[in-house]
Structure 1
């Protein structure tokens, strides 16, 4: 069987192995990320609500009031995390603390990794996964949170 001279070579990458020099963000820094992001999320939600109220669209307001608050909150939070982590690789909290989300080969995560990461945040008791080696939303999506600024 003839080989195709234009075929791309096969590359074997072990995705579960990460270089030793990676500086993973610690739990304290990650908790600070959560607090900052939660405040930013509340401000963003308030601004969305204000914009809707100022729009004067009674039909839109009535429709939004018919949606359960928890469902609306989950949709906004989903948009917050997917939007920031996919487009920028970091949320405002991660930007402030000098961390970012990467995949196993230290590149920007794929869109579906970010979606999976965000959906995993909604698993009941997921916040307690800090007791494990990696947070569930990291391990289930194949992502890591690394430090981008190393102190001198």
Structure 2
């Protein structure tokens, strides 16, 4: 019942700088994952004497590398947000993903968010006056400052318990 009264306001939204930093830091972590997993596959292939697999990874075409990279990026965003409501970058910038009432979004919302990240030029969509990207709008989610959200929710709950 108390969730119905709470609504995300513009002052809770992550800033444009936080959104840019989230994108940039996540990009770095995705590249690290891509390189780490590729190297791990090569090392495992060499350890089990599977030189064909090792050679295939070393000689992947640009299309294969692009497809592999998209899969890693998709899994990174989808899984980290689905289970933690934040990526590694959001952890660093103290931001989190929520619904309009401040609750954790559904798995479907996170899936939609992740799919929308691959729309061309989507990464620039949060540079408007209100820093909400297309992946936020289409999934009906918000990236907010976690500390401020917790303080407001705590104060709201305190007011409700004081009245009762």
TM range (shorter): 0.7 to 0.9
Instruction: State how 1:132-151 maps to structure 2 within 5 Å.
Output: 132=128, 133=130, 134-150=132-148
Cα 1:71/1:148, change in 2 over 3 Å: same
User: Gaps spanning 5+ residues in structure 1: where?
Assistant: 1-10
Give the superposition deviation at 1:128: 2.4
Paired with 1:109 and 1:41, the residues of 2 have a C-alpha distance of 23
Secondary structure of the 1:101 match is: strand
Q: Is 1:106 aligned to 2:93, yes or no?
A: no
Give the superposition deviation at 1:21: 8.1
Aligned Cα RMSD in Å?
2.4
Q: Is 1:95 aligned to 2:91, yes or no?
A: yes
Give the aligned partner of residue 32 of structure 1.
21
Instruction: State how 1:42-81 maps to structure 2 within 5 Å.
Output: 42-56=31-45, 57-61=50-54, 65=60, 68-81=64-77
Q: For the Cα contact (< 8 Å) 2:97–2:105, is it kept in 1?
A: yes
Paired with 1:21 and 1:29, the residues of 2 have a C-alpha distance of 14
Larger deviation, residues 91-100 vs 63-72 = 63-72
Paired with 2:136 and 2:109, the residues of 1 have a C-alpha distance of 9
**TM score, norm. by length of structure 1:** 0.78
Paired with 1:127 and 1:48, the residues of 2 have a C-alpha distance of 25
Aligned residues: 137
Cα 1:116/1:58, change in 2 over 3 Å: farther
Q: For the Cα contact (< 8 Å) 2:105–2:141, is it kept in 1?
A: yes
Paired with 1:149 and 1:91, the residues of 2 have a C-alpha distance of 16
Superposition misfits of 4+ residues, deviation over 3 angstroms: 19-22, 57-67
Paired with 2:53 and 2:84, the residues of 1 have a C-alpha distance of 30
Paired with 1:114 and 1:61, the residues of 2 have a C-alpha distance of 34
Secondary structure of the 1:87 match is: helix
User: Gaps spanning 5+ residues in structure 2: where?
Assistant: 149-164
